[in-house]
Structure formats: structure tokens, C-alpha cells
A and B are shown apart, each in its own frame.
Chain A
Amino acid sequence: AQSVAQPEDQVNVAEGNPLTVKCTYSVSGNPYLFWYVQYPNRGLQFLLKYITGDNLVKGSYGFEAEFNKSQTSFHLKKPSALVSDSALYFCAVRDMFEGNNRLAFGKGNQVVVIP
């Protein structure tokens, strides 16, 4: 079965400092990995994905993520956090076997960027 763990409920970071949101995954095959962001009273917005190729993936709003197969991780990063980055972040995985059309989501990380 596919699953995602986001070990920290909340991440606090000062504005201008690097931001990291952690994600580890479990699949039986190869993973498709996604990051989403959710602002209050809104749906999830897609940030970036890893399908294959370069382990460093760049996405929207200056975010990037690094795929690490040996550590089964896909941590989200931003070099310099903004107050507007305060939101709920979700990691999701799909196991890459035929016929699997479901995403498994983590429980989410609340990011608070302190001015």
C-alpha cells in the first residue's frame, strides 16, 4: 500500500530564512510525488511534482523539492520564506503500477512564517 508521512505538525520559520517541509513515502513500486499548498477556506493548489529524471524539481512560487530514493524522501524547500508562504502543505504519492489511479496524502504541515 502507498502512504506518506509528514512528521512535523507545524513548522515555524522567520521571514527570509530557508524553509523546509519534510515528507517521506512508502510504495511497493516507483513513486509519483506531489506537493500541494492550501490557504484558508480554499482548495489545494498544485506546487510541483516528481515523475522521473532530475532529482531536484522546481515548482511554483520559488519552491523546489528533492527526490531521494535511498531515503524515500521528497522534502519541500524554499531558500527564503515569505510571510505569504504561511499555509498548510500536503505531500502526496501515487505508486506507479498499472491501474493505480489513487493519490495518498499526508496529514499536512502547517507552516508559520514569522515577520
Chain B
Amino acid sequence: DAGITQSPRHKVTETGTPVTLRCHQTENHRYMYWYRQDPGHGLRLIHYSYGVKDTDKGEVSDGYSVSRSKTEDFLLTLESATSSQTSVYFCAISEDYSNQPQHFGDGTRLSIL
């Protein structure tokens, strides 16, 4: 398995609170991604990074921000969590953006009450 660690694995929090999820990789891959998985929607890209301090928006980026200060760490922040952000969040990494597959962490289950 690719060396990807997501933390925390589970979190319950209240509406309006800030939340930060962490993705840590040991593969030294350039590309890192944050997805959310919801029933009936498959996986949807939130943000991705193509290098240290280089990030871009995905298809569902509203309400989320990211930061990547080191190659191995990619943080996802919900500035003010809402119930619609209750989901399972997955981090993925890849060596390049073209023909190499993405490899996924085991996810963070986030519940916002």
C-alpha cells in the first residue's frame, strides 16, 4: 500500500467550528488531492496540489481551503463547518498528472451536527 496517512480518521464537530484534516505521504509524490465521497455522487474533487505552495480548485471547492507547505503534507480546512460538509474525505497522491494512477488514503469520516 502507498504510504498515505489521514488524520483524524473520525471526527464529530458542530456547525460553525473550524476543522482541519491532514494528509501525510511518504512517497515523495508531487501531486496530492482532496476528494469527498457522498452516496449517489461518487468522488468529487475539492482541491489539489501540484507542488509545495501550488494548489488549485476542484469542482466542489466552496467552503474549503488547502495548504501545502511541505511535499509530504496537504491540509484541508473547513473554515466554518456546515452540515452539508458531512462526508467522507479522501486524500490521494500521484507521481504525475497524466497516466499514473492516484493512490488513496483510508479516509476521514466527518460528521457536522
Interface residues of A (CB under 8 A from B): 32, 34, 36, 41-46, 49, 51, 90, 94, 96, 100-103, 105-108
Residues of B within 8 A of A43 (CB): 4, 90, 92, 104-107
Contacts of B99 in A (CB 8 A): 32, 49, 51
Q: Quick one: closest A residue to B107, CB to CB?
A: A43
The reply to whether the CB of B101 lies closer than 8 angstroms to some CB of chain A is yes
Q: State whether the Cβ of B13 lies closer than 8 Å to any Cβ in chain A.
A: no
CB distance from B81 to the nearest CB of A (A): 22
Chain A residue numbers with a CB within 8 Å of B42 are: 90, 105-108
Task: List residues of chain A with CB within 8 A of the CB of B40.
Answer: 107
Q: Tell me the minimal C-beta distance from B41 to chain A in angstroms.
A: 6
Show 10 residue pairs from A and B whose CB-CB distance is below 8 angstroms, ordered by the A residue: A42-B106, A43-B92, A43-B105, A43-B106, A44-B43, A46-B103, A90-B43, A96-B98, A102-B45, A102-B48
Cα–Cα distance between A96 and B92 once the two chains are bound (Å): 20
B58 contacts the other chain (CB 8 A): yes
Known interface pairs A34-B101, A94-B98; 19 further A-B residue pairs with C-beta atoms within 8 A, sorted by A's residue number: A32-B99, A42-B106, A43-B4, A43-B90, A43-B105, A43-B107, A44-B92, A44-B104, A45-B104, A46-B101, A46-B103, A51-B99, A90-B43, A96-B98, A102-B45, A103-B45, A105-B43, A107-B40, A108-B42
The chain B residue sitting closest to A90, CB to CB, is B42
| Bound Cα distance from A41 to B45, whole angstroms | 19
B90-102 to A contact mask, C-beta < 8 Å, 1/0: 1010000111011
CA of A95 to CA of B44, assembled, Å:
16
For the complex, give the distance between the alpha carbons of A107 and B48 in Å.
20
List chain A residues, Cβ under 8 A from B90.
43-44
Give the residues in chain B near A36, CB-CB below 8 Å. Answer: 104
CB distance from A36 to the nearest CB of B (A): 8
User: Nearest chain-A residue to B99 (Cβ)?
Assistant: A51
Which of chain B's residues has its CB closest to A42's CB?
B106
